[in-house]
Chains A and B, each alone.
Chain A
Protein backbone atom coordinates (compact mmCIF):
# COMPACT_ATOMS: atom_id res chain seq x y z
CA UNK A 1 0.00 0.00 0.00
CA UNK A 2 2.90 2.33 0.84
CA UNK A 3 6.21 1.89 -0.92
CA UNK A 4 9.13 4.30 -0.54
CA UNK A 5 11.93 3.58 -3.04
CA UNK A 6 15.40 5.13 -3.07
CA UNK A 7 14.20 8.48 -1.81
CA UNK A 8 16.60 11.39 -1.34
CA UNK A 9 15.98 14.69 0.44
CA UNK A 10 18.07 17.77 0.99
CA UNK A 11 17.23 21.32 1.95
CA UNK A 12 18.93 24.24 0.19
CA UNK A 13 18.74 27.45 2.18
CA UNK A 14 19.17 30.05 -0.54
CA UNK A 15 19.12 33.04 1.79
CA UNK A 16 21.59 31.57 4.24
CA UNK A 17 24.66 31.31 2.05
CA UNK A 18 22.98 28.62 -0.07
CA UNK A 19 23.67 26.10 2.69
CA UNK A 20 22.87 22.58 1.54
CA UNK A 21 21.52 20.24 4.22
CA UNK A 22 21.38 16.63 2.98
CA UNK A 23 18.90 14.79 5.15
CA UNK A 24 18.20 11.49 3.48
CA UNK A 25 19.53 9.20 0.79
CA UNK A 26 18.35 5.81 -0.43
CA UNK A 27 15.32 5.80 1.89
CA UNK A 28 13.21 2.67 1.49
CA UNK A 29 10.09 1.44 3.23
CA UNK A 30 7.22 -0.90 2.44
CA UNK A 31 3.97 -1.15 4.36
CA UNK A 32 1.33 -3.74 3.55
CA UNK A 33 -2.39 -3.41 4.37
CA UNK A 34 -2.98 -4.26 8.02
CA UNK A 35 0.63 -3.54 9.04
CA UNK A 36 1.89 -0.83 11.34
CA UNK A 37 5.52 0.10 10.77
CA UNK A 38 7.35 2.34 13.25
CA UNK A 39 9.94 4.89 12.17
CA UNK A 40 12.69 5.09 14.76
CA UNK A 41 15.89 7.07 15.10
CA UNK A 42 17.30 9.90 17.13
CA UNK A 43 15.64 13.30 17.20
CA UNK A 44 16.55 15.09 13.98
CA UNK A 45 17.30 11.87 12.09
CA UNK A 46 14.43 12.48 9.67
CA UNK A 47 11.40 10.56 10.96
CA UNK A 48 8.89 13.41 10.61
CA UNK A 49 10.61 14.52 7.42
CA UNK A 50 10.03 11.15 5.80
CA UNK A 51 6.44 11.13 6.99
CA UNK A 52 5.84 14.58 5.51
CA UNK A 53 7.36 13.42 2.25
CA UNK A 54 4.95 10.48 2.10
CA UNK A 55 2.12 12.98 2.62
CA UNK A 56 3.42 15.25 -0.11
CA UNK A 57 3.98 18.09 2.32
CA UNK A 58 7.74 17.98 1.69
CA UNK A 59 9.32 17.49 -1.73
CA UNK A 60 11.61 14.59 -2.56
CA UNK A 61 14.79 15.23 -4.48
CA UNK A 62 14.93 11.69 -5.84
CA UNK A 63 13.15 8.33 -5.78
CA UNK A 64 9.52 7.23 -5.72
CA UNK A 65 6.90 7.33 -2.98
CA UNK A 66 4.03 5.06 -3.93
CA UNK A 67 0.79 5.28 -2.01
CA UNK A 68 -1.55 2.92 -3.78
CA UNK A 69 -1.05 3.74 -7.47
CA UNK A 70 0.11 7.31 -6.98
CA UNK A 71 3.77 8.35 -6.87
CA UNK A 72 3.52 11.22 -4.42
CA UNK A 73 7.03 12.40 -5.33
CA UNK A 74 5.98 13.24 -8.86
CA UNK A 75 2.17 13.47 -8.82
CA UNK A 76 0.21 16.53 -9.87
CA UNK A 77 -1.21 18.61 -7.00
CA UNK A 78 -4.76 17.54 -7.73
CA UNK A 79 -3.82 13.86 -7.53
CA UNK A 80 -2.27 14.42 -4.12
CA UNK A 81 -5.31 16.40 -2.98
CA UNK A 82 -7.55 13.53 -4.00
CA UNK A 83 -5.24 11.02 -2.32
CA UNK A 84 -5.39 12.99 0.92
CA UNK A 85 -9.14 13.08 0.75
CA UNK A 86 -9.85 9.42 0.03
CA UNK A 87 -6.78 7.35 0.75
CA UNK A 88 -4.09 8.83 2.95
CA UNK A 89 -4.70 10.22 6.41
CA UNK A 90 -2.18 12.12 8.49
CA UNK A 91 -2.22 12.84 12.20
CA UNK A 92 0.54 15.38 12.73
CA UNK A 93 2.19 16.17 16.00
CA UNK A 94 0.40 19.46 16.42
CA UNK A 95 -3.19 20.39 15.88
CA UNK A 96 -3.46 22.85 13.05
CA UNK A 97 -6.91 24.26 12.55
CA UNK A 98 -8.71 27.12 10.95
CA UNK A 99 -9.52 29.48 13.83
CA UNK A 100 -13.09 29.78 15.10
CA UNK A 101 -14.32 26.45 13.75
CA UNK A 102 -16.07 24.34 16.44
CA UNK A 103 -14.43 21.09 17.53
CA UNK A 104 -17.31 18.97 16.24
CA UNK A 105 -16.92 20.58 12.84
CA UNK A 106 -13.14 20.08 12.84
CA UNK A 107 -13.64 16.35 13.40
CA UNK A 108 -16.52 15.96 10.95
CA UNK A 109 -14.78 17.81 8.14
CA UNK A 110 -12.88 14.88 6.57
CA UNK A 111 -16.15 12.99 6.37
CA UNK A 112 -17.95 15.85 4.67
CA UNK A 113 -15.04 16.08 2.26
CA UNK A 114 -15.79 12.56 1.05
CA UNK A 115 -19.49 13.30 0.68
CA UNK A 116 -20.92 11.85 3.86
CA UNK A 117 -24.11 13.63 4.85
CA UNK A 118 -23.97 16.10 7.74
CA UNK A 119 -25.93 14.05 10.23
CA UNK A 120 -23.84 10.91 9.77
CA UNK A 121 -20.58 12.90 9.79
CA UNK A 122 -21.54 14.61 13.05
CA UNK A 123 -22.67 11.38 14.63
CA UNK A 124 -19.31 9.77 13.92
CA UNK A 125 -17.51 12.88 15.18
CA UNK A 126 -19.48 12.77 18.43
CA UNK A 127 -18.69 9.12 18.88
CA UNK A 128 -14.95 9.66 18.48
CA UNK A 129 -14.87 12.71 20.73
CA UNK A 130 -16.71 10.76 23.43
CA UNK A 131 -14.30 7.85 23.16
CA UNK A 132 -11.41 10.25 23.47
CA UNK A 133 -12.97 11.80 26.58
CA UNK A 134 -13.45 15.31 25.23
CA UNK A 135 -16.36 16.71 27.28
CA UNK A 136 -19.50 17.52 25.33
CA UNK A 137 -19.50 21.12 26.54
CA UNK A 138 -16.32 21.67 24.48
CA UNK A 139 -17.70 20.33 21.21
CA UNK A 140 -19.14 23.66 20.13
CA UNK A 141 -15.95 25.53 20.94
CA UNK A 142 -12.87 26.03 18.79
CA UNK A 143 -10.05 23.76 19.94
CA UNK A 144 -7.47 26.53 19.69
CA UNK A 145 -7.78 27.32 23.41
CA UNK A 146 -7.75 23.71 24.62
CA UNK A 147 -4.90 22.14 26.56
CA UNK A 148 -2.14 20.33 24.65
CA UNK A 149 -3.55 16.94 25.50
CA UNK A 150 -7.09 17.94 24.51
CA UNK A 151 -5.84 19.35 21.23
CA UNK A 152 -3.99 16.16 20.54
CA UNK A 153 -7.14 14.14 21.14
CA UNK A 154 -9.14 16.37 18.79
CA UNK A 155 -6.35 15.91 16.25
CA UNK A 156 -6.63 12.15 16.62
CA UNK A 157 -10.42 12.19 16.39
CA UNK A 158 -10.14 14.11 13.15
CA UNK A 159 -7.45 11.76 11.84
CA UNK A 160 -9.46 8.62 12.55
CA UNK A 161 -12.89 9.93 11.49
CA UNK A 162 -12.61 8.64 7.95
CA UNK A 163 -11.39 5.08 7.39
CA UNK A 164 -8.30 5.73 5.31
CA UNK A 165 -6.58 2.77 3.66
CA UNK A 166 -3.24 4.36 4.60
CA UNK A 167 -2.38 6.41 7.66
CA UNK A 168 0.58 8.39 8.94
CA UNK A 169 0.69 8.96 12.70
CA UNK A 170 3.25 11.33 14.19
CA UNK A 171 3.48 10.81 17.96
CA UNK A 172 -0.21 9.93 18.41
CA UNK A 173 0.17 9.14 22.13
CA UNK A 174 2.27 12.15 23.11
CA UNK A 175 0.69 14.37 25.80
CA UNK A 176 -1.83 11.65 26.71
CA UNK A 177 -2.57 10.04 30.04
CA UNK A 178 -2.84 6.27 30.40
CA UNK A 179 -6.60 6.12 29.78
CA UNK A 180 -6.51 8.08 26.57
CA UNK A 181 -3.35 6.41 25.42
CA UNK A 182 -5.24 3.12 25.63
CA UNK A 183 -8.10 4.55 23.56
CA UNK A 184 -5.70 5.67 20.85
CA UNK A 185 -3.91 2.32 20.72
CA UNK A 186 -7.30 0.72 20.40
CA UNK A 187 -8.17 2.99 17.48
CA UNK A 188 -4.92 1.98 15.82
CA UNK A 189 -5.63 -1.71 16.35
CA UNK A 190 -9.10 -1.29 14.83
CA UNK A 191 -7.59 0.50 11.82
CA UNK A 192 -5.09 -2.31 11.33
CA UNK A 193 -7.83 -4.90 11.62
CA UNK A 194 -9.78 -3.30 8.78
CA UNK A 195 -6.64 -3.40 6.62
CA UNK A 196 -5.13 0.06 6.94
CA UNK A 197 -1.40 0.38 6.22
CA UNK A 198 0.06 2.54 8.97
CA UNK A 199 3.36 4.34 9.46
CA UNK A 200 3.88 5.64 12.99
CA UNK A 201 6.38 7.59 15.03
CA UNK A 202 6.24 6.70 18.72
CA UNK A 203 8.74 7.93 21.26
CA UNK A 204 6.72 5.87 23.73
CA UNK A 205 8.42 2.49 23.37
CA UNK A 206 5.68 0.58 25.14
CA UNK A 207 3.04 1.99 22.76
CA UNK A 208 5.26 1.16 19.84
CA UNK A 209 5.68 -2.40 21.02
CA UNK A 210 1.94 -2.81 21.45
CA UNK A 211 0.80 -1.82 17.96
CA UNK A 212 3.78 -1.89 15.62
CA UNK A 213 4.78 -4.98 13.67
CA UNK A 214 8.17 -3.75 12.51
CA UNK A 215 10.61 -0.91 13.01
CA UNK A 216 12.57 1.02 10.41
CA UNK A 217 15.54 3.05 11.59
CA UNK A 218 15.72 6.23 9.49
CA UNK A 219 19.30 7.00 10.55
CA UNK A 220 20.30 4.25 8.13
CA UNK A 221 19.25 6.71 5.40
CA UNK A 222 21.36 9.61 6.67
CA UNK A 223 23.87 10.48 3.92
CA UNK A 224 27.37 9.19 4.77
CA UNK A 225 29.10 12.54 4.53
CA UNK A 226 26.83 13.92 7.25
CA UNK A 227 26.60 10.92 9.61
Chain B
Protein backbone atom coordinates (compact mmCIF):
# COMPACT_ATOMS: atom_id res chain seq x y z
CA UNK B 1 0.00 0.00 0.00
CA UNK B 2 2.68 2.52 0.89
CA UNK B 3 4.40 4.09 -2.03
CA UNK B 4 6.83 6.93 -1.93
CA UNK B 5 4.75 9.19 -4.13
CA UNK B 6 1.49 10.70 -3.03
CA UNK B 7 -1.48 10.27 -5.33
CA UNK B 8 -2.82 13.68 -4.40
CA UNK B 9 -1.00 16.70 -2.98
CA UNK B 10 -3.18 19.54 -1.81
CA UNK B 11 -1.49 22.87 -1.02
CA UNK B 12 -3.14 25.81 0.75
CA UNK B 13 -6.53 25.31 -0.86
CA UNK B 14 -8.93 28.16 -0.11
CA UNK B 15 -12.34 29.28 -1.27
CA UNK B 16 -14.03 32.49 -0.18
CA UNK B 17 -17.50 33.86 -0.64
CA UNK B 18 -16.83 37.57 -0.39
CA UNK B 19 -15.50 37.99 3.12
CA UNK B 20 -16.96 34.67 4.25
CA UNK B 21 -14.70 31.63 4.37
CA UNK B 22 -15.76 28.53 2.47
CA UNK B 23 -12.58 26.67 3.27
CA UNK B 24 -9.21 28.10 4.18
CA UNK B 25 -5.62 27.03 3.73
CA UNK B 26 -6.17 23.28 3.51
CA UNK B 27 -3.10 21.17 2.82
CA UNK B 28 -2.62 17.42 2.90
CA UNK B 29 -1.16 14.50 0.96
CA UNK B 30 -3.09 11.36 0.08
CA UNK B 31 -1.37 8.10 -0.82
CA UNK B 32 -2.61 5.17 -2.93
CA UNK B 33 -4.98 2.94 -0.97
CA UNK B 34 -5.70 5.54 1.72
CA UNK B 35 -9.17 6.71 2.67
CA UNK B 36 -9.32 10.20 4.14
CA UNK B 37 -12.42 11.20 6.05
CA UNK B 38 -13.46 14.83 6.39
CA UNK B 39 -15.85 15.46 9.25
CA UNK B 40 -17.48 18.55 10.59
CA UNK B 41 -20.86 19.93 11.33
CA UNK B 42 -23.02 21.99 8.98
CA UNK B 43 -21.14 25.04 7.79
CA UNK B 44 -17.74 23.56 8.53
CA UNK B 45 -16.64 23.85 4.91
CA UNK B 46 -16.31 20.14 4.28
CA UNK B 47 -18.55 20.05 1.22
CA UNK B 48 -16.93 23.20 -0.17
CA UNK B 49 -13.55 21.53 0.27
CA UNK B 50 -14.71 18.37 -1.47
CA UNK B 51 -16.12 20.34 -4.37
CA UNK B 52 -12.91 22.34 -4.74
CA UNK B 53 -10.80 19.15 -4.60
CA UNK B 54 -12.92 17.35 -7.19
CA UNK B 55 -13.06 20.19 -9.65
CA UNK B 56 -16.73 21.02 -9.12
CA UNK B 57 -15.90 24.46 -7.66
CA UNK B 58 -12.98 26.67 -8.63
CA UNK B 59 -10.86 27.48 -5.56
CA UNK B 60 -9.55 31.00 -5.01
CA UNK B 61 -6.11 29.88 -3.90
CA UNK B 62 -4.02 26.77 -3.78
CA UNK B 63 -3.13 23.71 -5.81
CA UNK B 64 -4.52 20.21 -6.15
CA UNK B 65 -1.69 18.12 -7.58
CA UNK B 66 -2.70 14.71 -8.91
CA UNK B 67 -0.39 11.94 -10.08
CA UNK B 68 -1.64 11.42 -13.63
CA UNK B 69 0.03 8.33 -14.94
CA UNK B 70 0.97 9.83 -18.29
CA UNK B 71 2.18 13.28 -17.25
CA UNK B 72 3.28 12.94 -13.62
CA UNK B 73 2.02 15.40 -10.98
CA UNK B 74 -0.33 17.95 -12.55
CA UNK B 75 -2.22 20.78 -10.88
CA UNK B 76 -5.86 19.93 -11.59
CA UNK B 77 -6.98 23.44 -10.69
CA UNK B 78 -5.19 24.90 -13.68
CA UNK B 79 -6.03 22.06 -16.07
CA UNK B 80 -8.19 22.82 -19.05
CA UNK B 81 -11.87 21.94 -18.76
CA UNK B 82 -11.69 19.04 -21.27
CA UNK B 83 -8.69 17.59 -19.42
CA UNK B 84 -10.49 17.81 -16.11
CA UNK B 85 -13.58 16.18 -17.58
CA UNK B 86 -11.45 13.32 -18.89
CA UNK B 87 -10.01 12.86 -15.42
CA UNK B 88 -13.55 12.74 -14.07
CA UNK B 89 -14.37 9.91 -16.46
CA UNK B 90 -11.29 7.81 -15.88
CA UNK B 91 -9.08 8.22 -12.82
CA UNK B 92 -11.56 10.10 -10.67
CA UNK B 93 -15.06 9.34 -9.51
CA UNK B 94 -17.62 11.26 -7.47
CA UNK B 95 -20.34 9.59 -5.41
CA UNK B 96 -23.07 12.10 -4.61
CA UNK B 97 -25.17 12.07 -1.49
CA UNK B 98 -28.34 11.83 -3.57
CA UNK B 99 -28.02 9.08 -6.13
CA UNK B 100 -30.16 10.96 -8.61
CA UNK B 101 -27.40 13.60 -8.88
CA UNK B 102 -24.98 10.93 -10.02
CA UNK B 103 -27.22 8.82 -12.23
CA UNK B 104 -29.16 9.23 -15.44
CA UNK B 105 -32.64 8.51 -14.19
CA UNK B 106 -34.07 7.90 -17.65
CA UNK B 107 -31.45 5.40 -18.68
CA UNK B 108 -31.55 1.76 -17.62
CA UNK B 109 -29.33 0.45 -14.83
CA UNK B 110 -27.20 -1.39 -17.36
CA UNK B 111 -27.05 1.73 -19.48
CA UNK B 112 -25.89 3.86 -16.56
CA UNK B 113 -22.96 1.55 -16.05
CA UNK B 114 -22.27 0.87 -19.72
CA UNK B 115 -22.32 4.55 -20.63
CA UNK B 116 -19.22 5.15 -18.55
CA UNK B 117 -17.38 2.40 -20.40
CA UNK B 118 -18.43 3.82 -23.74
CA UNK B 119 -17.22 7.27 -22.71
CA UNK B 120 -13.73 5.83 -22.39
CA UNK B 121 -13.86 4.03 -25.71
CA UNK B 122 -15.53 0.67 -25.16
CA UNK B 123 -17.46 -0.33 -28.28
CA UNK B 124 -18.40 -3.98 -28.15
CA UNK B 125 -22.02 -4.26 -26.97
CA UNK B 126 -21.64 -7.77 -25.59
CA UNK B 127 -18.55 -6.85 -23.58
CA UNK B 128 -20.14 -3.69 -22.25
CA UNK B 129 -23.27 -5.54 -21.17
CA UNK B 130 -21.15 -8.25 -19.61
CA UNK B 131 -19.16 -5.71 -17.63
CA UNK B 132 -22.39 -4.00 -16.54
CA UNK B 133 -23.86 -7.29 -15.32
CA UNK B 134 -20.65 -8.07 -13.48
CA UNK B 135 -20.60 -4.71 -11.74
CA UNK B 136 -24.27 -4.79 -10.86
CA UNK B 137 -23.57 -8.14 -9.26
CA UNK B 138 -20.71 -6.68 -7.25
CA UNK B 139 -23.03 -4.04 -5.83
CA UNK B 140 -25.68 -6.70 -5.23
CA UNK B 141 -28.17 -5.59 -7.85
CA UNK B 142 -29.61 -8.68 -9.49
CA UNK B 143 -29.18 -9.22 -13.22
CA UNK B 144 -32.90 -9.15 -13.88
CA UNK B 145 -32.97 -5.43 -12.98
CA UNK B 146 -30.41 -4.49 -15.63
CA UNK B 147 -33.00 -3.00 -17.98
CA UNK B 148 -35.03 -1.21 -15.29
CA UNK B 149 -34.81 2.55 -14.79
CA UNK B 150 -33.32 3.83 -11.52
CA UNK B 151 -36.69 5.45 -10.74
CA UNK B 152 -37.93 1.96 -10.02
CA UNK B 153 -35.19 1.32 -7.44
CA UNK B 154 -35.17 1.97 -3.71
CA UNK B 155 -32.85 4.65 -2.33
CA UNK B 156 -30.25 2.15 -1.26
CA UNK B 157 -30.31 0.42 -4.63
CA UNK B 158 -29.95 3.71 -6.47
CA UNK B 159 -26.92 4.50 -4.34
CA UNK B 160 -25.38 1.13 -5.11
CA UNK B 161 -26.01 1.72 -8.79
CA UNK B 162 -24.27 5.07 -8.50
CA UNK B 163 -21.29 3.33 -6.98
CA UNK B 164 -21.19 0.75 -9.78
CA UNK B 165 -21.43 3.50 -12.40
CA UNK B 166 -18.55 5.31 -10.74
CA UNK B 167 -16.24 2.38 -10.21
CA UNK B 168 -16.63 0.53 -13.50
CA UNK B 169 -13.83 2.52 -15.14
CA UNK B 170 -11.41 1.60 -12.36
CA UNK B 171 -10.74 5.06 -10.94
CA UNK B 172 -7.85 5.55 -8.56
CA UNK B 173 -9.46 8.30 -6.50
CA UNK B 174 -13.09 8.45 -5.40
CA UNK B 175 -14.71 11.47 -3.82
CA UNK B 176 -17.78 10.73 -1.70
CA UNK B 177 -20.20 13.24 -0.26
CA UNK B 178 -22.22 11.76 2.60
CA UNK B 179 -22.46 8.40 0.80
CA UNK B 180 -24.89 6.95 3.33
CA UNK B 181 -26.80 10.10 4.17
CA UNK B 182 -30.55 9.84 4.06
CA UNK B 183 -30.58 6.05 3.90
CA UNK B 184 -32.17 3.75 6.45
CA UNK B 185 -29.79 2.41 9.05
CA UNK B 186 -29.80 -1.15 7.77
CA UNK B 187 -29.29 0.06 4.23
CA UNK B 188 -26.44 2.28 5.39
CA UNK B 189 -24.80 -0.67 7.03
CA UNK B 190 -24.94 -2.76 3.88
CA UNK B 191 -23.58 0.10 1.80
CA UNK B 192 -20.67 0.67 4.16
CA UNK B 193 -19.75 -2.99 4.02
CA UNK B 194 -19.79 -2.78 0.25
CA UNK B 195 -17.64 0.35 0.17
CA UNK B 196 -15.12 -1.10 2.60
CA UNK B 197 -14.79 -4.22 0.50
CA UNK B 198 -14.43 -2.37 -2.79
CA UNK B 199 -11.88 0.07 -1.40
CA UNK B 200 -9.80 -2.83 -0.19
CA UNK B 201 -10.19 -5.00 -3.31
CA UNK B 202 -9.52 -2.22 -5.76
CA UNK B 203 -6.83 -0.46 -3.73
CA UNK B 204 -8.79 2.77 -4.09
CA UNK B 205 -7.94 6.05 -2.50
CA UNK B 206 -10.96 7.96 -1.35
CA UNK B 207 -11.94 11.23 0.25
CA UNK B 208 -15.18 10.85 2.18
CA UNK B 209 -17.12 13.77 3.58
CA UNK B 210 -19.54 12.94 6.35
CA UNK B 211 -20.94 14.33 9.56
CA UNK B 212 -21.24 10.79 10.94
CA UNK B 213 -18.27 9.75 13.11
CA UNK B 214 -19.29 6.10 13.05
CA UNK B 215 -19.10 6.05 9.25
CA UNK B 216 -15.69 7.62 9.33
CA UNK B 217 -14.36 5.15 11.90
CA UNK B 218 -15.47 2.29 9.72
CA UNK B 219 -14.33 3.63 6.38
CA UNK B 220 -11.41 6.03 6.80
CA UNK B 221 -7.77 5.47 7.70
CA UNK B 222 -7.15 9.15 8.28
CA UNK B 223 -9.32 11.99 9.38
CA UNK B 224 -9.52 15.78 9.06
CA UNK B 225 -11.85 17.66 11.39
CA UNK B 226 -13.18 20.95 10.05
CA UNK B 227 -14.70 23.91 11.79
CA UNK B 228 -15.60 27.26 10.25
CA UNK B 229 -13.66 26.50 7.10
CA UNK B 230 -10.44 25.41 8.80
CA UNK B 231 -8.96 21.99 9.46
CA UNK B 232 -8.60 21.99 13.25
CA UNK B 233 -7.20 18.50 13.67
CA UNK B 234 -5.86 15.72 11.48
CA UNK B 235 -4.33 12.27 11.99
CA UNK B 236 -5.09 8.57 12.07
CA UNK B 237 -8.84 8.07 12.42
CA UNK B 238 -8.61 5.94 15.56
CA UNK B 239 -6.18 8.37 17.14
CA UNK B 240 -8.25 11.48 16.43
CA UNK B 241 -11.40 9.79 17.74
CA UNK B 242 -9.80 8.06 20.76
CA UNK B 243 -7.34 10.79 21.80
CA UNK B 244 -8.70 14.05 20.35
CA UNK B 245 -6.38 16.98 20.98
CA UNK B 246 -8.41 19.97 19.78
CA UNK B 247 -11.28 21.24 21.90
CA UNK B 248 -13.74 21.07 19.02
CA UNK B 249 -12.86 17.46 18.20
CA UNK B 250 -13.26 16.58 21.88
CA UNK B 251 -16.69 18.21 21.82
CA UNK B 252 -17.73 16.31 18.69
CA UNK B 253 -16.55 12.96 20.00
CA UNK B 254 -18.16 13.40 23.40
CA UNK B 255 -21.46 14.42 21.79
CA UNK B 256 -21.96 11.13 19.96
CA UNK B 257 -24.81 9.14 21.47
CA UNK B 258 -24.10 5.57 22.48
CA UNK B 259 -26.45 2.87 21.38
A14: interface (CB < 8 Å): yes
| A78 in complex: contacting residue of B31, B192, B218, B250, CB < 8 Å | B31
**A98 B251 Cβ-Cβ under 8 A:** no
Given known contacts A81-B1, A82-B1, A85-B1, A56 and B239 CB-to-CB distance under 8 angstroms: yes
**A81 B221 Cβ-Cβ under 8 A:** yes
B144: interface (CB < 8 Å): no
**A57 B242 Cβ-Cβ under 8 A:** yes
B33 to A: closest C-beta gap in Å: 9
A101: interface (CB < 8 Å): yes
A58: interface (CB < 8 Å): yes
B245: interface (CB < 8 Å): yes
A107 to B: closest C-beta gap in Å: 16
B25: interface (CB < 8 Å): no
B177: interface (CB < 8 Å): no
Contact string against A for B residues 184-198, beta-carbon threshold 8 Å, 1 for contact and 0 otherwise: 000001001100100
**B2 A13 Cβ-Cβ under 8 A:** no
B227 to A: closest C-beta gap in Å: 13
Given known contacts A14-B246, A15-B254, A78 and B34 CB-to-CB distance under 8 angstroms: yes
Q: Number of contacts between A and B (CB, 8 Å)?
A: 55
B236: interface (CB < 8 Å): yes
**B221 A15 Cβ-Cβ under 8 A:** no
Which residues of chain B (109-162) have a CB below 8 Å from chain A?
A: none
A105 to B: closest C-beta gap in Å: 10
**A77 B221 Cβ-Cβ under 8 A:** yes
Contact string against B for A residues 57-99, beta-carbon threshold 8 Å, 1 for contact and 0 otherwise: 1110000000000000000011111100100000000000011
**Dominant secondary structure at the B interface:** helix
B243: interface (CB < 8 Å): yes
B58: interface (CB < 8 Å): no
Contact string against A for B residues 216-232, beta-carbon threshold 8 Å, 1 for contact and 0 otherwise: 00100110000000000
Residues of B contacting A57 with CB < 8 Å? 236, 238-239, 242-243
- Residue count of chain B within 8 Å CB distance of chain A: 24
Closest to A59 in B: B243
Residues of A contacting B34 with CB < 8 Å? 78, 81
A169 to B: closest C-beta gap in Å: 18
What CA separation (Å) do A78 and B7 show in the bound complex? 13
| A52 in complex: contacting residue of B189, B218, B242, CB < 8 Å | B242
B86 to A: closest C-beta gap in Å: 28
**B250 A98 Cβ-Cβ under 8 A:** no
| B236 in complex: contacting residue of A11, A80, A85, A101, CB < 8 Å | A80
A194: interface (CB < 8 Å): no
Residues of B contacting A56 with CB < 8 Å? 236, 239
Residues of A contacting B245 with CB < 8 Å? 12, 59
Closest to B242 in A: A57
B82: interface (CB < 8 Å): no
| B2 in complex: contacting residue of A15, A79, A101, A112, CB < 8 Å | A79
Which residues of chain A (99-141) have a CB below 8 Å from chain B?
A: 99-101, 112
Closest to A75 in B: B236
Contact string against A for B residues 39-80, beta-carbon threshold 8 Å, 1 for contact and 0 otherwise: 000000000000000000000000000000000000000000
Given known contacts A58-B239, A77-B235, A78-B2, A13 and B193 CB-to-CB distance under 8 angstroms: no
What CA separation (Å) do A42 and B200 show in the bound complex? 41
**A82 B236 Cβ-Cβ under 8 A:** no
Residues of A contacting B18 with CB < 8 Å? none
A144 to B: closest C-beta gap in Å: 12
B67 to A: closest C-beta gap in Å: 15
**B239 A98 Cβ-Cβ under 8 A:** no
Residues of A contacting B238 with CB < 8 Å? 57
Residues of A contacting B250 with CB < 8 Å? 13-15
Closest to B237 in A: A77
**B243 A100 Cβ-Cβ under 8 A:** no
Please give the residue numbers on chain A whose beta carbons come within 8 Å of chain B beta carbons, in ascending order.
11-15, 52, 56-59, 77-82, 85, 98-101, 112
Give 25 CB contacts A-B under 8 Å. A11-B243, A12-B245, A15-B251, A52-B242, A57-B236, A57-B239, A57-B242, A58-B242, A59-B239, A59-B243, A77-B236, A78-B1, A78-B34, A78-B221, A80-B236, A81-B1, A81-B2, A81-B34, A81-B221, A82-B1, A98-B193, A98-B196, A100-B193, A101-B193, A112-B200
